[in-house]
Structure 1
């Protein structure tokens, strides 16, 4: 059942074999025997594509439900006798990983020595089921993804520009000044490539968007910061991200009395009746960590 479910989820015999560490021939033979035992064709295979039949869809739904029941029972027995253990695949925003999470990982590893972490760093959309990822940490408003989201922190943001930019364009003292010849570095979603409003501020507890001309639009965090440091426009960042640049004076905070809205940070994982112990303790640790650091 696990093998068949992974084939359906990954859309490939080869991908399922690699994911489960099995020879390709073993996977093919196992599915042939399964179909013979059930007396039904579950998958239609050609050299170019794989299609799940109607019987195959029904069998997959049963597999998912039965495997979830089995995992829950096994987890109850394991947790009664063992500490959380096993491999946990996670995906983190690169900057948040480098500056906040990874420096604290020795603490997590010491607390849970039987958990192995497989860490990816990206800001892209991750298909947890298809890619075999247990959870992702994401900054910003939650997309409508069908995943479970638990807020672990909120990040204060600041509006900044480089010293060179302010020398050429002047320092704005009020929101109205932004419309007098100022530029922004535009941010676009890495997933949709849709540009977001140039700048956002909280004015009298209400969100206000300011659209400025922009010659540059980027969808990567490092490129966004590099453009701002190069003097290409005004930008907004979580404060932790640019704390060092502010300290050394290469970036200057603008309009501190009108901060941007805070950014929520969520850990996302698939809907499950019972979280595996290794995932549950990692999520709890993230909540604890982010509460201490941001």
Structure 2
């Protein structure tokens, strides 16, 4: 294993806090990962990692060396990627909401992998905030307003949303004409990922945002169950329009309160400055932007 490969191994261990997980990410035997670190420590004459039964963490020297390694690896990948003949390769780990993956990414994925046969892709579907670097992801896709973060972000799309209900629900509760008519109605309570509380409905009324929370007999934390419950007449929902195209076409759901728009949902792709833009990450981000743009245009 050459010096740069050993640096890659070391940086992945620091980020994953685990020899075993780093070895799995890189497709290497654990013994090779261990030997790489021993070789670096012997060459540098310092201890780079603290090892306990539960976790691996960098020493002060290890943290300083990690920062230098990240910069050097990024420069090397940029230099290699500058040549026309350089092919993006290696494992790319992303995290994306499952419904967005199935609608925006998976349909075009065979063509992407055909164009870049040396890239291997892992798609995670976390439904809660995560430490991207600690979990070993190269980038994550997130919908909604983003909190302040050191992560670099790139806008992917702005998804139109609406308010919907099943015919069985409307036959029981009536069709509201304005948000003021929602007294006596019920929502399906979709629990927010960050707070665990029911996300309120939101309407734009005379240019101003109004939020309200209705009683909820049923609460869910998954978008598929949310839509399915609405189709069964269990309550009103507010979701991105792309998610209910087929349900609207079949009549399983009906849009209500269309004169009171729901604020659109921004979607971003985020990656760490420590990852830089490796060739495989660069081509994936550019491809993802096109996928969201094209498939959002199909809905409009």
Give the TM-score category using the shorter length: 0.7 to 0.9
1:163 aligns with 2:162: no
Q: Identify unmatched segments of 5+ residues in structure 2.
A: 1-6
**What secondary structure, in the 3-state scheme, does the structure 2 residue paired with 1:261 have?**
strand
CA distance in 2, matches of 1:255, 1:210: 14
Question: How far off is 1:141 after superposition?
Answer: 1.6
Aligned-residue offset at 1:94 = 1.4
SS of 2:263 mapped into structure 1 = coil
Match of 2:72 in 1: 66
Could you report, residue by residue, the CA deviation over 1:220-249 in whole angstroms, capped at 9, with x for unpaired residues? Answer: 111211222232221111111111111221
The equivalent residue for 2:250 is 248
The two structures have a TM-score, normalised by structure 2, of 0.85
- Does the 8 Å CA contact 1:190/1:220 hold for their aligned counterparts? no
Give the match for residue 205 of structure 1. Answer: 207
Aligned to 2:140: 136
Say yes or no: does 1:288 pair with 2:294. Answer: no
Q: Does 1:259 align with 2:265?
A: no
String of CA shifts for 1:226-275, please: whole Å, max 9, x gaps. Answer: 22223222111111111111122121111111121111121222226952
Aligned length: 290
Q: Counterparts in 2 of 1:163-242, with a 5 A limit?
A: 163-179=167-183, 181-197=184-200, 199-242=201-244
Deviating more after overlay: 145-154 vs 45-54: 45-54
Q: Deviations over 1:130-168 (max 9, x none)?
A: 333222222212233322211121111110111121121
2-structure distance, mates of 1:158, 1:100: 19
Whether contact under 8 Å (1:151, 1:265) holds in the other structure is: yes
Task: Give the 3 Å change call, closer, same or farther, for CA 157–110 of structure 1 in structure 2.
Answer: same
Output the TM-score relative to the length of structure 1: 0.87
2:56 maps to what in 1? 50
Is the 2:15–2:136 contact (alpha carbons within 8 Å) kept by the matching residues of 1? no
3-state SS, counterpart of residue 176 of structure 2:
coil
**Structure-2 change in CA distance of 1:104 and 1:270 (3 Å):** same
The reply on whether 1:118 has 2:106 as its aligned counterpart is no
- Cα distance, 1:45 vs. partner? 2.2
After superposition, what is the alpha-carbon deviation per residue over 1:10-33, rounded to whole angstroms, capped at 9, x for unaligned?
112222222223333333333334
Give how far 1:62 is off. 2.2
Q: Which ranges of structure 1 fall in alignment gaps of 5 or more residues?
A: none
Deviation at 1:178, TM superposition (A): 0.6
1:82 is displaced (CA, Å) by 3.3
Question: Is the counterpart of residue 95 in structure 1 residue 66 in structure 2?
Answer: no
Per the alignment, in what secondary structure is the counterpart of residue 84 of structure 2? helix
Aligned-residue CA RMSD (Å) = 2.4
1:83 positional shift: 4.7
Three-state SS of the structure 1 residue aligned to 2:266 is strand
